[in-house]
Amino acid sequence: MGLGHRAQRHRFRLEHTKTLMTLTFLSYLKVKERVPGPALVVVPLSCAGNWLREARKFVPHLSIAKVCGNSKEKSLSLDDNEIWFGMKDIIVTTYETVANIENYFGRMFWKAVILDEAHRAKNSASRIREALEETRSACRILLTGTPLQNSLKELHALLKFLWPDVLAKQSEMFENAIQLPELAQKAEKACINQVMVEKIRGLLALSMKRRKKEEVLSLPPKTFHDVWLPMSPLQVQWYRRILSLKNTQMSR
């Protein structure tokens, strides 16, 4: 249990760092660069509350609102003139809400569209991805701990969301970089095109800010303790009964 809680705390720190870096960037855009307009943060429903709390705590000078929840909550949010006319600094919503209210998110010009847990948008043919493609913005940011889950094709789909004009016709580079053997030929090794792989690495170097655990965490060294727990008298009694029953069955 102790190790599980420790892992959860470390994961929370990484998530916390990712959120704070993004909020700091949005604060910089408004305070230093004087960039007008709202920013759209698209998150899983379970993360919406955390974004609101973190923004109100660390960047209280930025106005923030959410557009998500049940139908009544979304209607009340859109009835707010400050939200409808883009007068808030940050709008937090969910992937499902973007797909359901395209007329609001598509009509606005956002200074930034930020996707948290961005691998949710890896399927180019999904309704959510199509709705996200309709959003207009000055820049796009993807936040994810797993940019590559199953194939390079999914990685291409995420990068294409960042650079739709640049990568519109570059899918072959990702498809041909690594060719896996057929199921009937599992013994064969994957064919790796090193030239293509290096090109993909070059694209990632231009577009990705990678944060490793050792850069943001100071983990103590592992310690191991062996703790012997003797059985209680009742446990000993039942253990002997079960063992005796098992021996009886084996002797038959």
Q: Which helix (H) or strand (E) holds 107?
A: none
Alpha-carbon distance 186 to 241, whole Å?
49
pLDDT of residue 3: 37
Alpha-carbon distance 223 to 238, whole Å?
34
Alpha-carbon distance 108 to 243, whole Å?
72
Secondary structure of residue 111 in the 3-state scheme = coil
Domain 2-147+208-227: which CATH number of 3.40.50.1820, 3.40.640.10, 3.30.420.40, 3.40.50.10810: 3.40.50.10810
What CA–CA distances, in Å, run from 163 to 52, 90, 148, 202, 251? 28, 23, 17, 14, 73
pLDDT tens string, the chain, 252 residues long: the values are 333 444 334 444 445 678 888 999 999 999 999 998 999 999 999 999 999 999 999 999 999 999 998 989 999 999 999 999 999 999 999 999 999 998 899 999 999 999 999 888 888 888 999 999 999 999 999 988 776 656 677 777 788 888 777 666 555 555 555 444 444 444 455 566 677 667 767 766 666 666 666 666 666 778 888 899 899 999 999 998 888 886 676 666
CB contact burial 66-83 (16+ within 10 A = b; e otherwise) = bbbbeeeebeebeeeeeb
pLDDT of residue 123: 82
pLDDT of residue 169: 59
pLDDT of residue 44: 93
Residue spans per domain, the chain: 2-147+208-227
pLDDT of residue 178: 46
